[in-house]
Chain A
Amino acid sequence: MAQYITKRVLFSLLVLFAISVVVFTAVRMTPGDVCKIVLATPDVDQQQCDAIRNELGLDKPAPVQYVKYMGNLLSGDWGKSFFSKREVWGEIRTRIPLTLELTVLSTVFALAISIPIGVISAVKQDGWLDYVLRFVTIGWLSIPSFWLATMLIVFPAKWWGYSPPIGYVNLWDDPLKNLEQLYLPAFSLGLALSASLARVTRSSMLEVLRQDYIRTSRAKGLAERAVVIRHALRNALIPVTTLFALQVAVLFGGTVVLEQIFSLPGLGTLTLSAVFVRDYPQIQGLVLFFGAVLVMINLVVDVSYAWLDPRIRYA
């Protein structure tokens, strides 16, 4: 197990390194002169330009720039925004709680919807309920989460004059108001995510329900409920965990769109505003941050997966 974990950690570090090189190189491939972007004007004089290049370290060779950037990054200095001149990491840090809360809430919604549907669908395989649930989930898969969010804003406002409070408040300042702001975007995202999770839960349950040990537990007279929940579901959840790790990436993308719709000042909104003004230090920091979080989640899932299922460790 220790060996497996070491191998996975080293591998994750390698992927992180590759991601940082890709992002670093890509940002330096941007067409157009960086001075014109920083000064936001097409005519710049050479002296100003040299000063900017010097400040950003662009007058040095790329590998030197990279080593310096990564060194600063690891010691907590992520550089400064082109425009607001604020610390890139500071901007990211203040927005983490909102996006984290949105992601966690969406996950809770997704699991609460998908697991029961997947289990019922599998237990009633090929019954009418199974067909209905399968059709409904493939329907959800096709609804863009941002459109669902749109309808959740439009119709309650039209019918009952209800709209969620505008202007974000911190969870710790006013938990109720905070949740009232976040449950609609979280539900929209969670529903989109639950479709694929329900489908995998169903097929994974079907596979497990055919195993010998399920027949054994039925034969020894366990209640069907205990067989399904304690013996089948717990084993069936392993592939669901993997898919979930893959879907977290999709969830990150979803937060970008939903924060936009609900005017929430999270990481997604920060990413978009940075993209529109071509604030490359900020974009670079954000993409690296998303990449790092994703790689870490995958690492945790891989390790826990191996812990849950000894067959993987020895493969």
Chain B
Amino acid sequence: MTTQAASQPMILGELRLRRSRLKSLWRIAQQKPVGAVAALVCIALILVAVFADVLAPYDAARQGVPRLQAPSASYPLGTDNLFRDIFSRILIGSRISLGVGFGSVLLGTIFGTTLGLVSGYFGGWVDMVVSRVIDVVLGFPPLVFAIFFLSIFNTDRGFSLKAFTLVSLAIGIIITPTTARIVRASVLSIRNLQYIEAAISIGGSSPRIMARHVLPNVVAPIIIIASIQIGNAILAEAALSFLSLGIADASHPSWGAMLQDTRGVWEQAWWTAIVPGAAISIAVLSFNLFGDALRDVLDPRLRSTS
């Protein structure tokens, strides 16, 4: 009896809290209608990637439909030169495109945050070493770096967890410098505040202070830069797959690889050239617009850093 009575107001309180959160979300959506639409498209894309095999009308890998059919009711986006349904392949392909996109941003954010945190917090020679390491990474043209990296480490290409990790790592390293610089600048701006000094004076260890006191206060810029980088990562993945350096193979399509597969027939079947590129552009545009809106909402001061 008592537990029930006690939990009732708690549930009510939680409901009220949830409703007020929804309300503030709605208010933000009204202020940033473009960003809100972009966020919905992003969520839809993620759902499509998750449920791709349920949604796809045909087996994306199997060759069993008429060749090079223009878009129609039975093949909404047409068919390709290897007897496959393009709509199904676009749905399944979202897995690699978004998967590598998120994977590489996750890795890049972890590296960049660690480097930025350490160099901003310790300063001095640590900062100098980290900055020089970043300068070296920036000395490579990004895509050329990724190609070089994959040519050395991903020698047996194809669809595997190892290949996924390596491609994500290649793109992750490319985006690390930007994250590291932004995190470093944010850490520097709070490094000498009193609560950090207090934490040091009561004898907190450096890793503990960085994790418990510094990191939580630089989370906003990290989220913003990560969301902006997802679009770039998807673009980079598409370029690598297009160059046959990604993780796509015959039964695991990706949007970039689909363009490569149909290169010879673009002129006779325009949809094979337009559809995968449109998928890439829509995904990248939605994540870019979403990241932009998120930045304006969370931290208007960062507006000039794009």
Which listed residue, A14, A147, A154, touches B280 by the CB 8 Å rule? A147
Does B235 belong to the interface (CB within 8 Å)?
yes
A286 to B151, CA, bound (A): 13
Q: Which of A223-262 contact B (CB under 8 A)?
A: 246, 249-254, 256-257, 260-261
Q: Which of A137-195 contact B (CB under 8 A)?
A: 138-139, 141-144, 146-147, 150-151, 153-155, 157-158, 163
Contact between A16 and B266, CB atoms less than 8 A apart? no
Does B215 belong to the interface (CB within 8 Å)?
no
- Cβ-closest chain B residue relative to A283: B151
Contact between B141 and A250, CB atoms less than 8 A apart? yes
Contact between B151 and A278, CB atoms less than 8 A apart? yes
Contact between A18 and B147, CB atoms less than 8 A apart? no
Which listed residue, A14, A154, A250, touches B266 by the CB 8 Å rule? A154
Across the interface, which residues of B come within 8 angstroms of A138, CB to CB? 285, 288-289, 292
A31 to B156, CA, bound (A): 10
**How close is A205's CB to chain B, nearest CB, in angstroms?**
12
Q: How many residues of A contact B (CB 8 A)?
A: 58
Stretch of A69-77, A289-297, A303-311 that contacts chain B = A289-297
Contact between A294 and B141, CB atoms less than 8 A apart? yes
Given A143-B281, A146-B259, decide whether A256 and B147 contact each other with a Cβ distance below 8 A: yes
- Cβ-closest chain A residue relative to B286: A142
Interface string of B251-294 (1 = CB under 8 A from A): 00000000100010011001001101110110011001100100
Q: How many residues of B contact A (CB 8 A)?
A: 48
Q: Which of A197-234 contact B (CB under 8 A)?
A: 199-200, 203, 207
**How close is B276's CB to chain A, nearest CB, in angstroms?**
8
A139 to B231, CA, bound (A): 12
Given A15-B135, A27-B152, A257-B239, decide whether A158 and B267 contact each other with a Cβ distance below 8 A: yes
Does B54 belong to the interface (CB within 8 Å)?
no
Which listed residue, B141, B148, B245, touches A252 by the CB 8 Å rule? B141
Contact between B273 and A142, CB atoms less than 8 A apart? no
- Cβ-closest chain A residue relative to B283: A142
Contact between B144 and A252, CB atoms less than 8 A apart? yes
Given A150-B259, A157-B267, A249-B141, decide whether A257 and B151 contact each other with a Cβ distance below 8 A: no
Contact between B142 and A253, CB atoms less than 8 A apart? yes
Contact between A287 and B281, CB atoms less than 8 A apart? no
Apart from A154-B266, A155-B270, A287-B140: 20 A-B pairs, beta carbons within 8 A? A19-B136, A22-B136, A29-B152, A31-B153, A142-B284, A146-B242, A147-B259, A147-B276, A150-B273, A163-B267, A196-B306, A199-B306, A249-B141, A253-B143, A253-B144, A256-B147, A275-B147, A278-B155, A290-B141, A294-B141
Q: Which residues of A contact B (CB under 8 A)?
A: 14-16, 18-19, 22-23, 26-27, 29-32, 135, 138-139, 141-144, 146-147, 150-151, 153-155, 157-158, 163, 196, 199-200, 203, 207, 246, 249-254, 256-257, 260-261, 271-272, 275-276, 278, 283, 286-287, 290-291, 294-295
28 example contacts (A-B, Cβ-Cβ < 8 A) are as follows A16-B139, A26-B152, A135-B34, A138-B292, A141-B231, A142-B281, A143-B277, A144-B281, A144-B284, A146-B242, A146-B259, A147-B276, A147-B277, A150-B274, A150-B277, A158-B267, A246-B138, A249-B138, A250-B142, A252-B143, A253-B141, A256-B144, A256-B243, A257-B242, A260-B242, A271-B144, A276-B244, A287-B148
